[in-house]
Amino acid sequence: MNLKVSSSSLRLNLVILAVITAMAAPTTDAKCAFKAIFNFGDSNSDTGGFYAAFPAERLPFGMTYFKKPTGRATDGRVILDFLAQALGLPFVCPYLQSIGSDFRHGANFATLASTVRLPQTSLFVTGVSPFSLAIQLNQMKQFKVKVDEQNHSSSEKKPKIPQPDIFGKSLYTFYIGQNDFTGNLVSLGVKGAKEYLPDVVSQIASTIKEIYALGGRTFLVFNLAPIGCYPAFLVELPHNSSDIDSFGCMISYNKAVVDYNTMLNEALRKTRIEIHDAHVIHADIHSVMLHLFQHPSSHGMRYGTKACCGYGGGAYNFDAKVYCGNTKTVNGRNLTAKACSDPYNYVSWDGIHATEAANKIVAHAILNSSYFDPPFSFHKLCDIQAID
């Protein structure tokens, strides 16, 4: 089911939620049924895993909130960060980060450029992460084994890991699949890329069932955002002018995303029947992001399909030869892709990922529970904290 919400309804819901959360000042006795978050994903929810394995992050990434690069593919926080804050939990530490991590409230297995399907190429050839969903699941299984071992150990000094019963009290989030969808679009086109999608949704469903066997009971699965509105894809993907809608987005690619999201929701519906005592929730962030791209001014922004950090200016401010934060010599000239001074006015950070401002709006919509199938309320399970 693809949830449809009118523009006026979306704005009203977000305003109401903003008022509620602003009034709900954080308290020391705030309670939440979820004691941890375990996340599986790609760069949309990576909080430092990829760069823990392959250190290379640099400013302007992280410029807004952290004032330094933290391995997040945006200027500040990702949706996962806001969700953790709202549930009264600390930011979720990357599983691959060996120094300074605290896993008592979960772990983040996501890495930049991850796919659901096993990669058929190397990171150093095409840039695809080796940490696919199957690898992330194996990491989760190993994490649970180590937690059980450490908690049965006689050692007085325990590492910063959770109690063994945490796995049934956790929220499991999935934000992955975009790279499976976009990775071969140029070479295969929409029709060719769609052939892989049944396998993608099948693997997401089977991963949920495996985590269920480990004790997981609440699963929140984000669908895909409208990639036909992203500046990078508007520049890189082949299309005709007739394929551009009145908002400047590519019709054919966005339709393919809707088809994928419908397929994903159907797979999740079937999964709910198989594990009927679990919550398996489809989060329709596609609708929220589409509205942001189409009506940025409705959310206090100025630019929908133009990147904040990039090179080239114009309608998209994106050039694949000079990616955000990089300097390249092109035709004898040194070119630098710089960040704008006002990322809060942009939906797109670097042409591929959302800004912190956009991520915050999406997080508010998720917490409002208006975009869930089936209906699910965080407010009934947690004292929702204000997110700044």
DSSP letter for each residue of 134-147:
HHHHHHHHHHHHHH
Residue carrying structure tokens 């008022």: 19
Give the per-residue pLDDT at 97: 96
d(CA 238, CA 185): 9
Give the per-residue pLDDT at 186: 85
Binned at pLDDT 50, 70 and 90, residue 216 comes out as: very high
d(CA 366, CA 282): 11
Binned at pLDDT 50, 70 and 90, residue 148 comes out as: very high
pLDDT digits 0-9 by tens, 51-84 = 999 999 999 999 999 999 999 999 999 999 999 9
Q: Which residues are tagged catalytic?
A: 43, 350, 353
pLDDT digits 0-9 by tens, 218-275 = 999 999 999 999 999 999 999 999 999 999 999 999 999 999 999 999 999 999 999 9
Per-residue pLDDT at 116 exceeds 90: yes
Give the per-residue pLDDT at 1: 44
CB 133 within 8 A of CB 116: yes
Would you call the peptide bond into 226 cis, given omega within 30 degrees of 0 as the criterion? no
Mean pLDDT of 168-186: 95
d(CA 49, CA 79): 16
Handedness of CA 190, 136, 40, 277 (dihedral sign): positive
DSSP-assigned beta bridge partners for residue 94:
108
Give the per-residue pLDDT at 125: 85
pTM for the structure as a whole: 0.91
CB 186 within 8 A of CB 238: yes
